Amino acid sequence: MLLQNMTSVITGGARGIGLATARAFLAQGSNIVLADMDTAALDRAAETLGQGVVKVVCDVTSAEDMSALVNTAVDHFGSLDVMVNNAGFARDATMRKMSEFDFDAVVSVHLKGAWLGTRAAADIMRRVGTAGSIINVSSISGKVGMPGQTNYSAAKAGIVGLTKAAAKELGFTGIRVNAIQPGIIRTDMVEALRADILEKKLAEIPLARFGEPEEVASVVLFLASGMSSYMTGTVLEITGGRHA
């Protein structure tokens, strides 16, 4: 039980990678605070997960909401040991056609949301003396840049910089900050892509298949647990070899 008696907060936890991570953490003994903006999806996720889960409707771009979220972990379970900043979405368009609103919205949820989550979690961990683990979800798009994703790629690249800077600031406290960069993972966002686009992306993957949310969750679990106790400021790619 890698996370026995620990408490983990997961944003964007109602589906996809967030939900798979919650399942993996629960199986390893963690209490879960599950956060999402989609109330109906959050209700369904919490019901499927069962006991040991507290659900919170949360806007990750709100400092007040994020502070309330991490405090919920302490109020319900007595600690905050792991923070997974996973919330996000895509609004793809070429730069010429992308609206300023869609650029701001994507950067705000992904990058500002991860910053607020990292800051709020670190504050709680330092206050209660927890040598916790913070995991920020970037993307391979943040490494290589994808056409039609100037907003998404910029935000995901920013998460890498945030992670490395925060790891340096917090290292003396024992708090570790790491990031992951998933590639093409079978989530709702990927399934919505056209078949010809998916075929083209599949041809770029040495392992010749798309990843599953559970495979990403296993890496997040590794970073959350003591198995990665001497790792901070790192970025792990989960891509099947794509853009290696």
Per residue in 58-108, pLDDT (tens digit) is 999 999 999 999 999 999 999 999 999 999 999 999 999 999 999 999 999
Can you give the CATH number for the domain in which 122 is found? Answer: 3.40.50.720
3-state DSSP helix/strand/coil % of the chain, to nearest 5: 50, 15, 35
Handedness of CA 7, 26, 134, 130 (dihedral sign): positive
138 lies in a domain?
yes
Spatial separation of the C-alpha atoms in residues 32 and 73, rounded to whole Å: 8
Question: Based on the structure, what is the number of domains in the chain?
Answer: 1
Q: Does the annotation mark 230 as catalytic? A: no
* Per-chain mean pLDDT for the chain: 96
Establish if 243 belongs to a structural domain: no
Considering the candidates 152, 157, 216, 221, report the single residue annotated as catalytic: 152
Query: Is there a domain that residue 227 lies in?
Result: yes
Q: Comparing C-alpha atoms, which of 127, 130, 131, 153 is closest to residue 142?
A: 153
Q: Return the structure tokens found at 201.
A: 């992306």
Dihedral of alpha carbons 221, 170, 181, 137, sign: positive
pLDDT in tens, 186-242: 988 777 778 888 899 899 999 999 999 999 999 999 999 999 999 999 999 999 999
Q: What are phi and psi of 122, to 5 degrees?
A: -60, -40
Comparing C-alpha atoms, which of 189, 226, 222 is closest to residue 17?
A: 189
User: Which residues have a Cβ under 8 Å from the Cβ of 142 and sit 6 or more positions away?
Assistant: 153, 155, 156, 157, 158, 159, 160, 181
Full residue range of the structural domain in which residue 43 is found: 7-238
Query: Could you tell me if residue 1 is inside a domain?
Result: no
Task: Note whether residue 230 is domain-resident.
Answer: yes
Q: 129 in a domain, yes or no?
A: yes
Among 109, 124, 143, smallest CA distance to 243 is for 143
